[in-house]
Structure 1
Amino acid sequence: MGKLNAKQARFVEEYLVDLNATQAAIRAGYSEKTARQQASEQLSKPDIQQALSEAQQARSARTQITQDRVIQEIARLGLSDIRGAFSLGGSLLPPSEWSDDLTAAVASIEVDQRKEPGEDGERYTVTKLKLWDKNAALEKLCKHLGLYERDNEQKQIVVNIRDDLDD
């Protein structure tokens, strides 16, 4: 970021916080009235773009969070299978026996132990498993893979064919 002045360098740092350019401009010291315009102007500068790219790459290297890793985690959620939590007889396996993929897909576990009235005060356990939103994960994967774009292209072809038939 050697080519940037102090305010621009601060803008780059602040932009990486939440990827909100207007808020980054305000936090970097630009006027609230002109922050949106300043943000747009800053993002259009090649030096700012290069600094942002370098900072994002450095953060990825530092945190070991890459695009591939994020997509893999989304895939774990979207392609999860709850059957792996149960034995062949249908009883719940201890979490230590679950696959890493299933463990990642579980949002919460609720265990409720109760004692039934009776001669021996028999205990039973109710366990609830809640998984992360599978549909949301699959939707993110579809967007990443461009499946919606292909669907839109197919719709466009149908519209064009209809237009040709109408002529």
Structure 2
Amino acid sequence: MPLTDQKRRFVDAYLLEPNGTRAAITAGYSPKTAAAQASRLLKDVNVAKAIDEGQRRLSIRSGITPDMIMAELAKLGFSDIRQVVQWRAAVQQVAEDPDTGEPVLQVANEVVITDSAKLSDAAAAGILEVSQSKDGTLKVRMHDKLGALVKMGQHLGMFRPAPSPDAPGKKEIAQQGAHGAEQGTSWDGLLN
């Protein structure tokens, strides 16, 4: 069954940015009901099929595969700042006293940034930003590890959505969670 123009606009918007609410608004649904409309549309068999086909076409055209995306997310999620920055506390060094010119022992903290030519591709991929202030201070920011790990976990189906407040059995789930070992590793509610 062919999609209506509005459903086609939803699919096109969803393919650009996989956020159902925003795609529904872009497709012309009311912002007040967009979340509910998106939920309904994403369950529609024809809409889901159109999204799947669109994603497949995009993957073929771009040459980007899910494996490539997962590999890049893994670089971010498993990055280790120690591959980029090394630090030591209470490093003893000899310096010259500015008043007397005599050698004095100083204790300082030391931070060293790895030369970019010596970084592995994985370590370099984990870096979001390297900047230098006017006083010469260097700053290194890494990509969001937790965000990358959550995206990988979602893709692999590792997280179950938390039950809605009015879902039957909510009380039992909460009681199980209070007993630690019975809770397991469901990660319920982590993503909400």
Smaller-chain TM-score bracket: 0.5 to 0.7
Q: Are 2:120 and 1:99 aligned?
A: yes
Aligned counterpart for 2:141 among listed residues 115, 125, 130:
130
- Following superposition, the deviation at residue 108 of structure 1 comes to 1.7
- Following superposition, the deviation at residue 34 of structure 1 comes to 5.6
Relative to its length, the structure with more strand (as a share) is 2
State the number of aligned residues.
144
Structure-1 separation of matches of 2:35 and 2:113: 54
After superposition, residues 32-71 of structure 1 pair within 5 angstroms as 35=34, 38-71=37-70
- Following superposition, the deviation at residue 21 of structure 1 comes to 3.1
**Greater CA drift, 72-81 or 45-54:** 72-81
What percent identity do the matched residue pairs reach? 35
**Greater CA drift, 35-44 or 13-22:** 35-44
Structure-1 separation of matches of 2:35 and 2:159: 31
Q: Are 2:40 and 1:19 aligned?
A: no
Structure-2 separation of matches of 1:127 and 1:141: 31
Gaps of 5+ in 1: 115-124, 161-167
Structure-2 separation of matches of 1:80 and 1:13: 34
- Following superposition, the deviation at residue 6 of structure 1 comes to 2.4
Gaps of 5+ in 2: 87-110, 161-172, 184-192
- Give the superposed CA RMSD: 3.9
TM-score between the two structures when normalised by the length of structure 1 = 0.60
CA 1:147–1:28: 2 relative to 1, 3 Å: closer
What's the counterpart of residue 100 of structure 2? none
Give the AA of the match of 2:60: A
